[in-house]
Structure 1
Amino acid sequence: MKTFLGGIILLILGYFTYGKIVEKVFGIKQDRPTPAYVNHDGVDYVPMSTSKNALIQLLNIAGTGPIFGPIMGALYGPAAFVWIVIGSIFAGAVHDYLIGMISLRNRGAHLPALASKFLGQTMKYLVHILAVLLLLLVGTVFVITPASLLHVLIDGKLALGIIMIIIFSYYILATLLPIDQIIGRLYPYFGALLILSAVGVGVGLVITRAPIPELSFTNFHPEQTPIFPLLFFTITCGALSGFHATQTPIISRTIQKESQGRKIFYGMMIAEGIIAMIWAAAAMSLFDGPGELNELLKVGGPGAVVNEVSTSLLGALGGTLVVLGVVVLPITSGDTAFRSARMIIAEYLGLAQRKLSSRLWVAFPLFIIAFLLTKIDFNLLWRYFSWANQSTAVITLFIGAMYLYIAKKNYWISLIPGTFMLIMVFTYIFHAKIGFHLPMNTSWIGSLIGTLIVLILFFHIARKARENKWPIEEKFSR
């Protein structure tokens, strides 16, 4: 219990300490007008309050990742707690804050446009493909997972296919209508349910004095579960996730002042880390070691663990509310995944999105492709999602480092976590079955060589960019 509670305390302290350091390094401009006013269109660029933006951001980034990921990450023992805390404070929250604020300084530009501006034209096309692929995978996965949970919750009284159609219908409306008409109105209620479910499980763990494993040199992780690199691909949204980089520009277009950025971007990643800590602790405590947890995961997946944890801690009624809170997470990320994909494609093609017909023209093919993807095995989709997700995180952290380098600021706050994850991404690609399937020792050597080459290229481009004084912000006034 000490490790669990200590981790949550460290996350909160991280927001008030390291979060302020990151904000100071970036350098907010309180009087600078934001895209919500300068580019106001009544659809995507709409000023909203800090509390509403923060809640929408949390729901946008918190799919099933901070629940399903930590549940599966619990197989690694207390090492999962270490990654959630360190990852959230020094990687995930930095990642979210920097990309959100850089987007804010560039008219709410999405990740591909920012990659093109800071990493070169070639990266523009690569990131467009990667971002849209990631968003389609997220949207598809987040149709399947909430539908499956609801199907179990209502004891199969409604066909799984019908539930998926209902969720798809909601996604279509949320993708096409102005952000303040559905997302802005429903998310406060969804957010309340999410917070209530997480707090319920967390309080239940404390009250019942659940036997949560403590961190020690002899209990860091089970010997049969090596943490490098798989832990960092298992727990993503609860520590570091490239998917967040596709979501933050949505809120960069609705922020009123730059000073709100730390609470909205950095703070909501910390909140997600706390949710991840709660579910990792629950999965570790309610089962007799990793073996029993692994057996339940094989039989029913993370959804079965959610159901078992919820009912064990809070009973039938409380458990039902918790499961509903979990269902909310993927739905409120799936809708903005499709919305973000629409915005990225429209930005690439130069299509204004004021007219409904223009939005429909871009969005319709996305839903057709997503529907076809639902026919593919979920486990295969999830493996490709994990790879695309962390690859996107690396690109985002390098964008942040490039921005800070050109601005002559402390770029190490972004480059260090970016370099670490680049090594993990290379190792995963070289070693995994969906990659080159090479021996681990060979994969490590290849990853170190690949990372060194990337760093050499980064500093070459960065020095050139600083010397030529590349513009890193869009200049505009109200």
Structure 2
Amino acid sequence: MFFLFILGMFLLIVGGYFYGKFCERVFGPDDRETPAVKSYDGVDYVPMKSWKNKLIELLNIAGTGPILGPIQGILFGPVAFITIPIGCVLAGALHDYFVGMISMRNNGAQVPKLVSKYMGNTMNKVYNIVIWLLMLLTGVVFIYTPGDLIVNDILHMDINSNVIWIVYAAILFYYIISTIFPIDKIIGRVYPLFGAVLIISAIGVFIGIIRDGGANLHNLTNTGLLFAKHPTGQKFIPVFFITVACGIMSGFHGSQATLISRTVKHEKEGRGVFYNMMIGEGLIAMVWAAGAMILFNSGTDVSTGATEMVGIISREFMGTVGGLFAIAGVIVLPITSGDTAFRSLRLMIAEQFNIDQKSAVKRVVLSLIIFVPAIAILFFAKSNADGFNLLWRYFGFTNQFVAVFALALITVYLKAHGKNYWISMIPGFYYTFIVASYIFHEPIGFGLESRLGLDPQSYTISYILGAVFVVLFYILVLKITSKRKDEIIKLDKI
């Protein structure tokens, strides 16, 4: 299995390099003025250096998903070492690149506005509900997760004590500041420090894995070469792809790519900023998945919570001091995604209702409107015994559902412009099947098999309905493109 891990890393790096260049050729970046230059406003449209954009993009998209997701995903077996790189290269990185570049060609427009332009107002209304909910849930999840890590692993205190609310308040205060102030004043200055922590912690765990030499890197249940029997009997398809999420594909990333599309100085920097940074997230996911597998095979209970596993893995591979540093890196990840989630939500709402964001007063008022429901959701999640689990499951599903909209948008754009649209159409088919079959089967959705008196572990009906929705996805994309092609070409020439 150590060979499989190394093979996966190779596929991710080499495959990402060549497929990234292919995606770049399909899109065709040129020397036109970017939004950062053309629409400079000193707040959201601010030219920044390429290395800084890359680092901010990586930190924006790398929430707890590429760590907590793979830790849980490895319970499905070593197949994770193949599905993570292949999915990341062919779907996740492609998604991030094209959303970022299409946004750049539309003056840094947020995804809802892009959906309206390329797919029509009806689709925009549906998408707005889903994406605004995702941004709100993301922000709340990324207050809760780092807060608990700080109290439990740094302060070594009870996460149910009153101290947790002080920590939540401190994180929320930072989010408010970073949401309101110009992007280069707060985010652009603190992210290099955060980035160093993130990269060093990932490297530290990777060195620990290599030092182990693969001795404990084998199938958890010895039930086959690639697959393991999941402890709770969950199906690899679709649950694995909902669980791992951000390490392979994430709709949330689209909101972050459009944010950074306003700070990139040259279109040809896009592949490095958008595509390659998603490959970087895939590497992080691989490292933590391997670390979890080694620890599970060394005797750690497979029922151990993913958040708790972060501390165990960090201390095992980096020692007490290094472990604290690694934990700090994991704390950095959600914080550096939560702040931009709220910022993106502010921009989306402002864009939808034409609220001028050059005015500091309007930015403050709109931000306060956003943070009120966020605080209410946080209070519910912490007060209710199953509140956070419920919140996290809906977050995971919504994240992938949003990605389906983005893949449809990309496909319409590419087909309308006579480009190779199958590169996004095929991932669109796959993730439509994943989200449809998941929500039809799971109790948080329709729970069809259980309601119909079938085996709760069976996906028979849900798989059939998933396939039906794949056909509907295909028909819808073709219909929208046929109807809007001339208008799209005309608008994109303006």
Local SS of the residue matching 1:230: helix
Output the amino acid matched with 2:10: I
Q: Which residue matches 2:240?
A: 231
Distance 1:350 1:191 in 2: 34
Q: Which runs of 5+ in 1 are unaligned?
A: none
Distance 1:473 1:69 in 2: 38
User: Alignment partner for residue 446 of structure 1, among 450, 459, 465?
Assistant: 465
Query: What is the Cα deviation at residue 448 of structure 1?
Result: 1.2
Could you give the per-residue CA deviations for residues 218-242 of structure 1, whole angstroms, max 9, x where no partner exists?
2321234420100010001100000
Query: What is the Cα deviation at residue 321 of structure 1?
Result: 0.3
Q: Which residue matches 1:268?
A: 277
Distance 2:142 2:191 in 1: 16
Output the amino acid matched with 1:465: R
Q: Would the aligned equivalents of 1:108 and 1:250 in 2 still touch at CA under 8 Å?
A: yes
User: Alignment partner for residue 304 of structure 1, among 308, 322, 344?
Assistant: 308
Distance 1:293 1:341 in 2: 39
Could you give the per-residue CA deviations for residues 88-126 of structure 1, whole angstroms, max 9, x where no partner exists?
000000000000000000010001111111111111111
Q: Which runs of 5+ in 2 are unaligned?
A: 382-386, 450-458
Alignment RMSD: 1.7
Query: What is the Cα deviation at residue 450 of structure 1?
Result: 2.1
Query: What is the Cα deviation at residue 467 of structure 1?
Result: 5.0
User: Alignment partner for residue 357 of structure 2, among 353, 360, 363?
Assistant: 353
Q: Which residue matches 2:394?
A: 384
Q: Would the aligned equivalents of 1:32 and 1:258 in 2 still touch at CA under 8 Å?
A: yes
Say yes or no: does 1:461 pair with 2:483.
Answer: no
Output the amino acid matched with 2:365: W
Distance 2:487 2:41 in 1: 34
Distance 1:127 1:293 in 2: 40
Local SS of the residue matching 1:173: helix
Distance 1:293 1:274 in 2: 25
- Figure out how many residues of one structure are paired with residues of the other and give that number: 469
Local SS of the residue matching 1:106: coil
Output the amino acid matched with 1:453: L
Q: Which residue matches 1:58?
A: 58
1:387-466 pair list within 5 angstroms: 387-439=397-449, 440-466=459-485
Could you give the per-residue CA deviations for residues 286-313 of structure 1, whole angstroms, max 9, x where no partner exists?
1138x9543212xxxx121011111111
Q: Which residue matches 1:220?
A: 226
Output the amino acid matched with 1:392: V
Query: What is the Cα deviation at residue 214 of structure 1?
Result: 6.5
Query: What is the Cα deviation at residue 454 of structure 1?
Result: 2.5
Distance 1:219 1:381 in 2: 34
1:47-86 pair list within 5 angstroms: 47-86=47-86
For the structure 1 residues 125 and 469, does the alpha-carbon distance in structure 2 shift closer, same or farther, using more than 3 Å as the test? Answer: closer
Could you give the per-residue CA deviations for residues 384-425 of structure 1, whole angstroms, max 9, x where no partner exists?
101110000011011111110000000001010011100111
User: Alignment partner for residue 348 of structure 2, among 333, 338, 344?
Assistant: 344
Q: Which residue matches 1:174?
A: 178
Distance 1:98 1:350 in 2: 25
Local SS of the residue matching 1:296: coil
Query: What is the Cα deviation at residue 178 of structure 1?
Result: 0.2
**Aligned-residue identity in percent:** 45
Distance 1:469 1:198 in 2: 43
TM-score (norm 2): 0.92
1:355-374 pair list within 5 angstroms: 355-374=359-378
Query: What is the Cα deviation at residue 314 of structure 1?
Result: 1.3
* 280-289 vs 138-147, which moves further: 280-289
Say yes or no: does 1:98 pair with 2:103.
Answer: no
Q: Would the aligned equivalents of 1:104 and 1:253 in 2 still touch at CA under 8 Å?
A: yes
Distance 2:472 2:303 in 1: 42
Distance 2:156 2:83 in 1: 36
Distance 1:105 1:133 in 2: 26
Q: Which residue matches 1:190?
A: 194
Distance 1:384 1:32 in 2: 40
1:98-177 pair list within 5 angstroms: 98-152=98-152, 153-156=154-157, 159-177=163-181
